[in-house]
Chain A
Amino acid sequence: MIALLHEILIQPFAEFAFMRRALLGALLLALSACPVGVFLMLRGMSLAGDAMAHAILPGAAAGFLLYGLEILPMTVGGLIAGALVALGAGAVSRLTIQKEDASMAAFYLMSLALGVCLISLRGSSVDLSNVLFGAVLALNDEALRLIAGVCAVTLTALAIFWRALAADSLDPLFLRSVSKIGAPAHFLFLGLAVLNMVGGFQALGTLLSVGLMMLPAAAARFWASRLFPMAVLAVGIGMVSSWAGLLLSYHLELPSGPAIVLSAGAIYLVSLIAAPRGLIATHLRARGHRSA
């Protein structure tokens, strides 16, 4: 029995280096992207992550057009495009009455259309699917170093600005009355979101990296009642999803990126139903109630 479990759960990683690299990359990504996802969700920007993922496309495409399927130019291009869109949308929402979701939609749609045009210049749809869906099983040293770097920067920045980001999400007006740090923290945070999206796109692709960012956060929401535990739990869920997804992909010969995201989706659905703040607990009438 134990031997069987070992064979199913551990063996693939023990045996194949590419599986170990994939696992390491995905775990680092979960450690970095999941807390960012928690803040995105709490700031009502869950879909902004999706928008930003699209926004990265023209930059990555430009890098791809000029240098082929190389990680560095595509990453730099993606960062630039993502930063432009995030800053543009953030500035519009801070300076005008338009809310961030609308300005983000406007910017990312322009960006996405541009990206698709750019990629079609080059031709084959195989290339496009590589950009969109990534290849976690083919992570080279360069890609792993990139993800590790993104992780380090993200965790450091979150540690420093945690209190400001929390206050700006909970009561932005209060933060504005005691400090001017709200706006810079917000832009820095948008930068982190872009950075993680770019870090993830080599492994999971631009579209699926949003999945690893948002689904664990959304699932953790049903369990935790305070911010920090929620972030830690999201990281845990992201890591379990990465491990389970890679195994699924190995045993059932599924594409690895979608398998990871589907695993996170399964945990989300279970949380939605069974967690303390999920459907059953909130809608099933309590059998009794206290006298006070």
Chain B
Amino acid sequence: MTQNAQTPLSFDDLTLGYKSHPAVHHLSGALRAGSLTAVVGANGSGKSTLLKGIVGLLKPISGRTRIAPGLKIAYLPQQSGIDVSFPAQLRDLVGLGLWPKRGLLGRRRPEDEAAVSGALRAVGLAGFERRSLDTLSGGQLQRALFARVILQEADLILLDEPFNAVDARTIADLMSLILRWKDEGRTVLAVVHDLDLVRERFPEALLLARRLVAWGPARETLKPENLLKARRFHEAWDDAAPWCAPEPEEASPGAHVHGHGHSHDHAHDHRGAA
């Protein structure tokens, strides 16, 4: 369990992608328990892919993700795939967050209803229990999904662009909720585009440009030279790109030693693993 408490999640030369084209390329490193990390990078730099890889929606092309045994993960995807025309009330949607606790057959208890109401209150949706889904605004739905994350009581919380299409006040509310999760000792990894927000509120940041550019304290990671480096990558796939082979690589600068080193005797045969 001490292992669990220290590194809930680590990447071991992880390459994720689609059709043998890497979207996250040779990522290594570890998340500290109770840390709050922003994942930043341009469109197509692999941020969402990384989250999908952690949840297991995407199998690695090579390398692996190590998740501490018994770790409970909550995942808020970028596009929720929720059918808002489904005949359900908000308490039904938020109540899905009780799944880790109650599972398929566990009976709902009276306190569950109170928990759902409490979670709704925490995101500023008190009294919305019986609203049907198609009467909610985009921002209200996003708050409701945060309420569901609260109920999941997860150790590791993955948020993919949680502030999309959300107004400033709601961002402030949701941000303080995220900070409270961190205070409760949960580990949070969030994809965020607003770099100023990251500098102000996120202790740590992980800058991706398919490859890891930098990973460490947010202000350090978002230095101009790192951002410049992150911008120099081609979003388009190159079908003629050579197969990835071991190459000597400069050690990534930065105070944190996140172990972004390749094991150079490792065979990088992506095709074989796919």
- Let me know if B104 and A160 touch, CB within 8 A: yes
Given A178-B99, A179-B99, also A226-B81 (CB < 8 A): no
Given A160-B104, A171-B93, A225-B132, also A177-B87 (CB < 8 A): no
B83 within 8 A of A: yes
CB contacts (< 8 Å) of B68 on chain A: these are none
Q: What residue in chain A is nearest B88 (Cβ atoms)?
A: A170
- Let me know if B99 and A225 touch, CB within 8 A: no
CB contacts (< 8 Å) of B93 on chain A: these are 170-171
- Chain A interface residue count: which class? 20 to 34
In the docked arrangement, what's the CA distance between A120 and B119, Å?
A: 62
Partner of B89, one of A172, A176, A225: A225
A102 within 8 A of B: no
Q: How many residues of B contact A (CB 8 A)?
A: 25
B202 within 8 A of A: no
B100 within 8 A of A: yes
B92 within 8 A of A: yes
- Let me know if A42 and B81 touch, CB within 8 A: no
In the docked arrangement, what's the CA distance between A225 and B86, Å?
A: 8
In the docked arrangement, what's the CA distance between A230 and B88, Å?
A: 10
- Let me know if A171 and B81 touch, CB within 8 A: yes
In the docked arrangement, what's the CA distance between A169 and B57, Å?
A: 18
Taking the closest CB of chain B, its distance from the CB of A272, in whole angstroms, is 16
- Let me know if A178 and B89 touch, CB within 8 A: no
CB contacts (< 8 Å) of B74 on chain A: these are 177
Q: What residue in chain A is nearest B86 (Cβ atoms)?
A: A170
What 0/1 pattern do residues 161 to 177 of B give for CB contact below 8 A with A? Answer: 00000000000000000
Partner of A177, one of B55, B83, B92, B105: B55
In the docked arrangement, what's the CA distance between A163 and B98, Å?
A: 11
- With contacts A173-B80, A225-B89 known, what are 16 further pairs, Cβ within 8 A? A42-B86, A166-B88, A170-B83, A170-B93, A170-B96, A171-B80, A171-B82, A172-B81, A173-B81, A175-B96, A176-B57, A177-B73, A179-B99, A225-B87, A226-B87, A226-B92
Counting from the closest, the 5 A-B pairs by CB-CB distance are A177-B75, A173-B81, A170-B86, A178-B99, A171-B82
